[in-house]
Structure 1
Amino acid sequence: MSGSRRVFSIPPGAPFLPTLAEALLSGRLVPDFRFDCDPLALADATIYVPTRRAARALRGVFVDRLGSRSAILPVIRPLGEFDEDEAAFETDASAAIDLAPPMRRSR
């Protein structure tokens, strides 16, 4: 494998989401990334969490950490859950439902 391996671990006793948010904001999580109060810096990040509840909680953690500073938050997506909003705009023809032609009424 090329490149350096980076593993970020959170100690078992530490609060997971606040520690994750702080690591991202401080630049310890992603090489060559640091928030530095740039309101657009976080917009390029995508964070995957296990549930919708964790996604909502992480958004709250970012808001708390940022305080009165303005920023566009990163995209926070729950893993393993179906997104109904995205499916509504699906344009792939293979994803369309295959329906039988309408029946005609005979006289």
Structure 2
Amino acid sequence: TYYARKRKLYEEIYPGFYDIDLRQLFSAPAGIKASSYLRQRRRRLMNSVAQFTNEKKFRVNKLLTRLIDRSDELGLRVQNDDPQQDFRVASYITTLVMNYLFTGKFKRTK
């Protein structure tokens, strides 16, 4: 329908667009706030993702800002001592950026 097409077209601007993935990434019942975790690693994530995707840093930074804000709103937490967490987060952000490069949208993973 018309409304379904419009919703699909503008889905990434809705606040809940990243919720499923963020809840999967940051599912710890206790630990540090996911938003703090992302802020602490922001520069390193931004530089790595921009380097390997060839995307501009400001666009990666804008995406990180969205993810930080939404993680804060959802009250998500992460275990700070998980050695695989940085890899998972970088992979997720890289996936979103590559989707953007190929489709023009930060499509959510399935």
User: Which range, TM-score by smaller chain?
Assistant: 0.3 to 0.5
More helix by percentage: 2
Pair member with larger Rg: 1
TM-score normalized by the length of structure 1:
0.33
Higher relative contact order (CA 8 A, sep 6+): 2
